[in-house]
Chain A
Amino acid sequence: MNMTRRQMLVLLPAAAVAWESLLAGTPESSPNYEQTQHWWGMLIDIPKCIGCGNCVRACQSENDVPDGYFRTWVERYHVTDTNLANPEVISPDGGKHGFPAAVEDSGKYFFVPKMCNHCADSPCTQVCPVGATFVGPDGVVLVDQKYCLGCAYCVQACPYGCRYIHPTKRVADKCTLCYHRITKGLTTACCEACPTGARQLVDLKNPKDPIHAFLKTHAVQVLKPQMATGAKAFYNELDGSVR
Chain B
Amino acid sequence: MSNFRDTGHLFRFAGIFVAAILIFLAIRGWLVPHTFGQYGHYRGAALNEIAAKPVHFAGHQSCETCHADIAEKKSSGKHASVHCEACHGPLAAHADDPSIQPAKIDTAVLCAQCHETSAAKPKGFPEVETASHSNGVSCETCHQPHSPALEAGGAQ
Residues of A whose CB lies within 8 Å of any CB of B are 1, 4-5, 7-8, 11-12, 15-16, 19, 22-23, 26-27, 29-30, 33, 35, 47-54, 58, 61-62, 76, 78, 98-99, 101-105, 109-111, 131-137, 142, 144, 146-147, 176, 179-181, 183-184, 186-187, 189, 192-197
Q: Which of A4, A7, A61, A134 contacts B56 (CB 8 A)?
A: A61
Residues of B whose CB lies within 8 Å of any CB of A are 19, 22-23, 25-26, 29-30, 33-36, 39-43, 45-57, 59-60, 81-83, 85-86, 89-90, 113-114, 116-122, 125
Asked if A62 and B39 make an inter-chain contact with CB atoms under 8 angstroms apart, the answer reads no
A137 to B42, CA, bound (A): 11
Instruction: Given contact pairs A78-B120, A187-B59, enumerate 12 new A-B contacts (beta carbons under 8 Å).
Output: A19-B45, A26-B48, A27-B52, A29-B51, A54-B113, A61-B90, A101-B118, A110-B120, A189-B90, A192-B60, A192-B83, A195-B86
Cβ–Cβ < 8 Å partners of A12 in chain B:
29
Main secondary structure of the interface of B (DSSP, over half): loop
Known A1-B19, A134-B41: A52·B114 in contact at CB below 8 Å: yes
Q: Which of A53, A102, A135 contacts B118 (CB 8 A)?
A: A102
Cβ–Cβ < 8 Å partners of A189 in chain B:
56-57, 90
For residue A130, give the distance in angstroms from its CB to the closest CB of chain B. Answer: 9
Cβ–Cβ < 8 Å partners of B48 in chain A:
23, 26, 29-30
Cβ–Cβ < 8 Å partners of A179 in chain B:
47, 50-51, 53
Asked if B114 and A195 make an inter-chain contact with CB atoms under 8 angstroms apart, the answer reads yes
Known A11-B30, A48-B122, A61-B90: A192·B85 in contact at CB below 8 Å: yes
Smallest CB-CB A-B distances: 3 pairs? A109-B120, A144-B46, A29-B51
Asked if A102 and B120 make an inter-chain contact with CB atoms under 8 angstroms apart, the answer reads yes
A30 to B53, CA, bound (A): 11
Known A50-B122, A110-B120: A19·B35 in contact at CB below 8 Å: yes
A103 to B120, CA, bound (A): 8
A19 to B54, CA, bound (A): 22
Cβ–Cβ < 8 Å partners of B29 in chain A:
8, 11-12
A119 to B11, CA, bound (A): 52
A146 to B47, CA, bound (A): 12
Asked if A4 and B81 make an inter-chain contact with CB atoms under 8 angstroms apart, the answer reads no
Cβ–Cβ < 8 Å partners of B39 in chain A:
35, 136-137
Asked if B22 and A5 make an inter-chain contact with CB atoms under 8 angstroms apart, the answer reads yes
Asked if B26 and A142 make an inter-chain contact with CB atoms under 8 angstroms apart, the answer reads no
Asked if A181 and B83 make an inter-chain contact with CB atoms under 8 angstroms apart, the answer reads no
- Who on chain B is nearest to A144 by CB? B46
Asked if B35 and A50 make an inter-chain contact with CB atoms under 8 angstroms apart, the answer reads no
Cβ–Cβ < 8 Å partners of B42 in chain A:
131-134, 144, 147
Cβ–Cβ < 8 Å partners of B54 in chain A:
180
A53 to B118, CA, bound (A): 14
Asked if B51 and A30 make an inter-chain contact with CB atoms under 8 angstroms apart, the answer reads yes
A136 to B51, CA, bound (A): 12
Cβ–Cβ < 8 Å partners of A16 in chain B:
34
Q: Which of B45, B50, B117 contacts A23 (CB 8 A)?
A: B45
Cβ–Cβ < 8 Å partners of A1 in chain B:
19, 22
For residue A182, give the distance in angstroms from its CB to the closest CB of chain B. Answer: 9
A179 to B52, CA, bound (A): 9
Asked if A193 and B85 make an inter-chain contact with CB atoms under 8 angstroms apart, the answer reads yes
For residue A169, give the distance in angstroms from its CB to the closest CB of chain B. Answer: 14
- Who on chain B is nearest to A195 by CB? B82
Asked if B119 and A105 make an inter-chain contact with CB atoms under 8 angstroms apart, the answer reads yes
